[in-house]
Amino acid sequence: MDTKPPATAELVTRLSEIARELRIMDIEMISEAGSGHPGGTLSAADMVAALFFHKLRLRPEEPDWPDRDRFILSKGHCIPIVYAAMAKQGFFDPGLLKTLRKLGSPLQGHPDRTRLPGIEASTGSLGQGLSVATGMALAGKLDRASWRVYCMLGDGEVQAGQVWEAAMFAPRHGLDNLCAILDHNQVQQTGKVSEILDISPIVDKWRAFNWHVLEIDGHDMSQIVDALDAAESVSGGPTMIVSRTVKGKGVSWMELNSEWHGKAPDPEQTRRALAELRGED
Amino acid sequence: MGGAATRDAFGTAIVRVGSDERVVVLTGDLRDSTRTEKFAETFPERFFDVGIAERNMLGIAAGLALSGKVPWAASFAAFVAGRFETLRVSVAYQEANVRIVGTHSGTGVGDDGYSQMALEDIAGIRALPNVSIVNPCDAIETERAVEYLLDHVGPAYLRLTRQKVDDVNAEGYRFEFGKAVQLRDGNDVAIFGTGATVQEALKAADSLAQGGVTARVVNAHTLKPFDEDAVLRAAADCRALVTVEDHSATGGLGSAVAEVLATRDGGAPLLILGTTDFGESGSAEELYEKHGISGERVAESTRQFLESLG
């Protein structure tokens, strides 16, 4: 089905390096803020790098460019990794990253589209983003537009019923301009997803809802790029990329540890985390 | 008095404004009850039945609005205003230009009973900083409100009735968003109604007039932004104020008036009439009587209130 060549080694290397930079910016930002969600930002870093530096058609200098692709982070608490990508892309002055979660900052703890141009949707109440993305995709279809809509969800998030309301709607209306991504990092705020409310078999669930499902290793950049490229050539319905990831990926002692869902590292932990991400350990 | 349900008037008006290509209508398996069938037949490409999934409907409406459409998401008021968490984040917080259309508001729903009646919708939505609330009193006002809302900027809630209501306004009525309408003048008491209770306020004024009490009647069709001046004028001119609404006595029209009186110079005694319990099955007339919001019950309560003031 996919006629494009697989991701080139050069592209994969470039995007992997960007993902590493984003992780570093992310930890610096959350540490500076003194609160935030490192685990789910680190698991999403590779996908966010591929989206913002390979797939999404954006104009950072013209954030409301009508023909841009739309990206919605439904798992809104992980927005710092997206802020990092946006700053690196030139949507705003990287100096603003230091204001994350501070009074008056456009970089709210959860994304606010009214405060930061380039944010497509205000999210954070889990379960709502896919519906908004679906509405955008529907508008795109009504206007016969060429832009596409991407929406990233968390695996704990898909425990919410509204997600499945949207999941039923999008295939029914042939929204092949919609690509959802499940950041399946296995851990939610208070423990393992499989133990709190198991979502498996998650691939079968989305298939049963008539989505085109791709299952990848979400830390293998060539698989990420190939999946995003493949989703573009799917016609007739939406695509779900089940991206199998590791919460806290890149900082060994944060990995798969729910303790690092919603806590900022202290200065010493920050130093150790950054050293590991920079390969200095 | 003739009259039609305000949902019927919405169904007529939405087809008329539907010639605007930005208009998209959504409903959740209620195209008949919400009177959106005619729109669905006329503009099938811009009509979407989302199934019984009102949270998703509100989210989709928000996404459409953020992409330049003017979506109207219609269901029973209880089911759209009841999806409050989606309403507050995906619609209100995003400043999504959505029109939330709630039919079957209040005890006027009648036989179906409480689960189908929105009695707390105004209270909840009034607390959201940016969602306008329009609660028209008759068919003409509904049609004019729909035409107004087409170009309104910002989220808005349109509250409609299942049951028929009297024609309060004459042909040629001009709807002015945010401005209450004084339907009758009087100095003894001012009775504020909204939506289906405006006709009850008028009936109450007729009844009071027989006893020599002159009642000003005010149609508060826009509950947010609220016409504070109309309240202050009434407080200056009349001995007392009475509010009557087919909604909880907590958080709706009565509260809006109380907030004005309590925080501005020049107070006046206020009697708030609305539901104080869950609704139940019965005819709309029986329920209005039981919950003290029928014209006769309003007149009776007003007489007692005025007497108590000495």
Q: What is the pLDDT of residues A42-65, one digit of tens each?
A: 999 999 999 999 999 999 999 999
Predicted confidence (pLDDT) per residue in A65-120, tens digit: 999 999 999 999 999 999 999 999 999 999 999 999 999 999 999 999 999 999 99
Give the pLDDT score at A23: 98
Residues with pLDDT less than 70, chain B = 1-2
* DSSP run (H or E) holding B245: strand B240-248
pLDDT attached to residue B2: 67
Answer yes or no: are the C-beta atoms of B164 and B135 closer than 8 Å: no
Chain B contact set for A131 (CB, 8 A): 55-56, 58-60, 62-63, 86, 90
Decide if pLDDT at A3 tops 80: no
Which chain B residues are Cβ-neighbours of A142 within 8 angstroms? 24, 45-46, 69
Q: Verify whether the Cβ–Cβ distance B59 to A135 is below 8 Å.
A: yes
Q: Is the whole-model pTM more than 0.80?
A: yes
What residues contact B185, with CB distance under 8 A and at least 6 apart?
A: B214, B216
pLDDT band for position A4 (50/70/90)? Answer: low
Q: What residues of chain A lie within 8 A of the CB of B71, using their CB?
A: 135
Q: Which of B41, B54, B120, B228 is catalytic?
A: B54
What are the tokens at A3? Answer: 């006629």
Beta-carbon count within 10 A of B28 CB? 25
Q: At A151, which helix (H) or strand (E)?
A: strand A149-154
Measured in residues, chain B has a length of 310
Residues 70-99 of chain B whose Cβ lies under 8 A from any Cβ of chain A? 71, 85-86, 88-90, 93-95
Report pLDDT for A2. 45
Give SS3 for B207.
Answer: helix
> What residue in A sits closest to B50 (Cα-Cα)?
A169
CA–CA min distance A9, chain B (Å): 37
Q: What is the per-residue pLDDT for B310?
A: 84
- Res. A5: pLDDT tops 80: no
Hey, of A126, A165, A177, A178, which one would you mutate to test binding to chain B, going by the most B CBs within 10 A of its CB? A165
Active-site residue, B54 included: yes
Tokens, residue A112: 């606010």
Chain B residues in contact with A77 (beta carbon < 8 A):
none
Q: Judging by beta carbons within 10 Å of its beta carbon (0-12, 13-18, 19+), is residue A13 exposed, middle or buried?
A: exposed
Across the beta sheet with B47-49, the strand order is B47-49, B23-27, B70-76, B99-103, B156-159, B132-134, B222-224
Give residue A1's pLDDT: 44
- What is the bridge-based pairing of β-strands B99-103 and B156-159? parallel
Task: Report chain A residues whose CB lies below 8 A from the CB of B61.
Answer: 135
The pLDDT of residue A88 is: 98
Half-sphere exposure of A42 (CA within 13 A, CB side): 32
CB pair distance less than 8 Å for A162 and B56:
yes
Partner-chain contact B66 A138, CB within 8 Å: no
Say what the pLDDT of residue B264 is: 84
Task: Give the pLDDT confidence of B92-115 residue by residue, as tens digits.
Answer: 999 999 999 999 999 999 999 999
The whole-angstrom distance between B205's CA and the closest CA on chain A is 46
* Alpha-carbon dihedral sign for residues B86, B88, B91, B93: negative
Rg (CA), chain A: 18
Rg (CA), chain B: 19
Residue B265: the pLDDT is 78
* Inter-chain CB proximity B65 and A135 less than 8 Å: yes
Cβ pair B89:A161 closer than 8 A: no
A278 vs A263: CA distance, rounded Å: 21
